[in-house]
Structure 1
């Protein structure tokens, strides 16, 4: 929880000026400031990379978990949230008499005498964010919410009492599995108690009393936006339980003036579209579909450009177009999966004696459960294809694992890639193989029998005939 003391800034819109709830919010960010605010690039730590033991460097690889490279959708999400929070507070100025009516009367109840500023009229909206699992929508949403303090403490506003002590900007809860209004109310109550640091509120036993209880708690805390994640759990059926929950949530918007954010996986948008009334209101404040970026988009290219230098291998593997394309194909552009593959790839080669990251290593690092998921069934095919297709990446299956020795002498499982000539396949031949590889390119350029190979190739003869020329090595460990 992030709690701050109110610092007031003059509101941009004239109608928002003089409202302590709005003027206490953080300043608006432009596009460049948004990208900087939501970025996090862990430092590689060159000293650890070049002098640290394998076990220590593996720990440093976990820093990739905290890597954040905001996409262009972050700007849109921030704009939506910033707007619905301010708009929701516009009608709830604690210094106005209409807000006092709002605080002391339930739902559509009104006093006999109209307040000096008129009756309370809510101005909140609903934002809906939809995307595939792992597309980064929840991470994006939590980062954007994290820019706003969760609680602002008010003491004095322009020499007067502001009419509010604690302002809760946002809370985030999950949609109940059974679409129960009561379960959701209890989650909201518990979350508000938690962020305010107050004693636990005992939920009322009767639903009507519970509804009044949650309404009063939301009002007194001046909640700005209620975020509900995992909305894909909501599926309308004949029982009507889901419709009841949606009606309750929109009552929060209509009567309490609190903006909502729905966040869910596909096919949540299909669920919403079945009910026109619900669909219209669910996108009143904005609608976003989060999908994996394309290879040639700025989102993917900036992501891989900032991710790739985070290497703790003792060999620097530069980012090439081939490696970039391979990681994109293996992750299908899913940024969280791409991060996981890259992290696993480094874990597998660190301490193996050859810490170069190549295409085969990336393929072997594909997480097995993700490879079997429905969204990634094409990856399984990609990895298990028997023969390479001309013009496409090599697609041999990778499944060879062997034991290696760490720097500290302990044994650990390190990956040895089948058919990968850049790393030894048998530990007993390690020294000889590495010596041969060091001067391999030089030896190739100085080969004396080029005409023999050309003749055999042209005649389509078996290379077994090299024995006749004394050029076939049958036992590399001895010859």
Structure 2
């Protein structure tokens, strides 16, 4: 098993506050958008010219590499890069090994983490983030591309008399059953793959061990290898966790962040939003660093650019008719899902090779969709027809679109703003949806401000009502003694007589 370890080459960082921190000095400064795009454009599938030099019988074999390597640099991809780079820097800024030795860090962090497990520690600080997007929109691909820009592992020697291996990024997939034991196992396997040895899985995953043992081992390795950020993909798997398992897992992530200063970036489909629908604290913590959302692309200039770039990788004998509006045709089949568009493009070329057509045509594209992508066609048909009741079609919508999902993505942003002003949930929760419907053009901040204003008005009314002296009018009953109100004994006697409370003695005298 080959390792992915490189020698740490320290350089002078642009940010003066990072000077003297070998964890940051061993990495590169944040790239500008231009530098980032220039690096990425050098990647990509084999060009048409390269493939046409090969024998026609093997050209089709290179089509599948298009899906793995096709990439169009865009702002959304750069946002992912910015998020990961800043998360690593923020993490390492708090963990300079020259201020605290690696050994002391491991011992301290181990004790702190073990303590919070037994004391039910409540995290108060977080740099964790969330990326939510529909299936096939390119979340995982983008994260893999960005992660590949960072060295998998760096060997530091003689840092304050110590040597250690720094691992900037660990990316794992969330277990389907929400098991913390399995999550730790995936972590050990990933570290073993990076370090080129099968050690940690064998050492820490034993028969009849418990979750706490693996969690403590994971915390030790996070500190020992100075892990910069943990990326957990497919977080929507937690929606299937039983007995509150999803909350236990999310709390576990936050405790890693808070105690070991390792930010967690969770990545998932629209189901991810539902995991936070009832827990403001979790929602707030996992959007502290950032909350990126990826929708289906509209049929606009960006979509046209993607299809135009995709068509550069035609491996058929002739190129497709340039007069055809291929962008619109592909949009009608893919509805803004890039991964599906790439699949259609590859399937169409494979069909063209199979029937010995010189190029792809509209008819070939339609047949390719019907023959090879039919399993999802009912979902896309439901969306085209506006029939959003089909549950599978919900995977292609984020919650702020016109669907019947319970949670609204805008609601999360508004709630996060209201939390800063300590507005009670039982006050604002019933109002948010109504305010959004009545003010469709308002921003989330504007709606939050209106709710805050409403809350303050209610408070003023309540305070006024509680302090105002109200003069009560008595409701006397017939013969009520409270009517007798005088300091004159004779007058009081007469009032009591009139009420027949006392008798006139002269009436009974002989």
Task: Give a deviation string over 1:323-363, Cα, whole Å, max 9, x none.
Answer: 22111211112111111111111111226354232222211
Does 2:337 align with 1:334?
yes
Is the contact made by 1:236 and 1:243 (CA closer than 8 Å) also made in structure 2?
Answer: no
1:272-315 deviation line (CA, Å, top 9, x unaligned) = 232100000001111111122222133x2331222112112222
Query: Is 1:295 the equivalent of 2:294?
Result: no
Deviation at 1:237, TM superposition (A): 7.5
Q: Is 276-285 or 43-52 further displaced after alignment?
A: 43-52
Shift of 1:210: 3.1
Contact 1:174 1:231 in 2 (8 A): yes
Q: 1:313 aligns with which of 308, 313, 316?
A: 316
Residues 170 and 223, structure 1, Cα contact 8 Å, conserved in 2: yes
**Looking at CA atoms only, which structure, 1 or 2, has the larger radius of gyration?**
2
Residue in 1 aligned with 2:379? 374
1:95 CA drift (Å): 0.6
SS at match of 1:179: coil
Q: Is the 8 A contact 2:126 2:285 kept in 1?
A: no
Q: Pick the aligned partner of 1:104 from 104, 107, 121.
A: 107
Alignment of 1:88-167 (within 5 A): 88-97=91-100, 101-106=104-109, 109=112, 125-156=127-158, 161=161, 163-167=162-166
The alpha-carbon distance between structure 1 residues 263 and 36, as it changes in their structure 2 partners (threshold 3 A), is: same
Partner residue in 1 for 2:290? 286
Q: Distance in 2 between matches of 1:368 and 1:380?
A: 18
Aligned to 1:58: 60
CA RMSD of aligned residues (A): 2.9
Is the counterpart of residue 173 in structure 1 residue 172 in structure 2?
yes
Q: Secondary structure at the match of 2:73?
A: coil
Q: 1:191 to 1:248 in 2, by over 3 A?
A: same
Indicate conservation of the 8 Å contact 1:151/1:196, yes or no.
Answer: yes
Point out the more displaced range, 365-374 or 271-280. Answer: 365-374
> Equivalents in 1 of 2:363, 2:7: separation in Å?
53
Gap runs ≥5 in structure 1: 111-120, 383-479
Output the CA distance in 1 between the equivalents of 2:326 and 2:35.
31
**How far did residue 38 of structure 1 move?**
3.0
Normalised by the length of structure 2, the TM-score is: 0.66
Aligned match for 1:221, one of 205, 218, 225: 225
Corresponding residue to 2:365 among 355, 358, 362: 362
Whole-angstrom CA distance in 1 between matches of 2:235 and 2:155: 31
State the alpha-carbon separation in 2 of the partners of residues 70 and 183 from structure 1: 35
Normalising by structure 1, report the TM-score.
0.70
Q: Unaligned stretches of 5+ in structure 2? A: 114-122, 388-510
C-alpha distance after superposition, 1:250-271 (max 9, x if no partner): 1100111111110111121122
Q: 1:244 aligns with which of 248, 255, 262?
A: 248
Contact 1:91 1:99 in 2 (8 A): no
- 1:3-42 aligned at under 5 Å gives the runs 3-39=5-41, 40-42=43-45
| In structure 2, distance between residues paired with 1:106 and 1:12 | 29
Per-residue deviation, 1:87: 0.4
Matches of 2:359 and 2:331 in 1, distance apart?
A: 19
Q: Contact 2:178–2:241 (CA<8 Å) still a contact in 1?
A: no
Write the distance in 1 (CA, Å) between the matches of 2:190 and 2:124. 23
Q: Which has the higher helix share?
A: 2
How far the C-alpha of 1:380 sits from its partner, in A, is 9.4
How far off its partner does 1:222 sit?
0.7
- C-alpha change, 1:364 and 1:152, in structure 2 (3 Å) is same
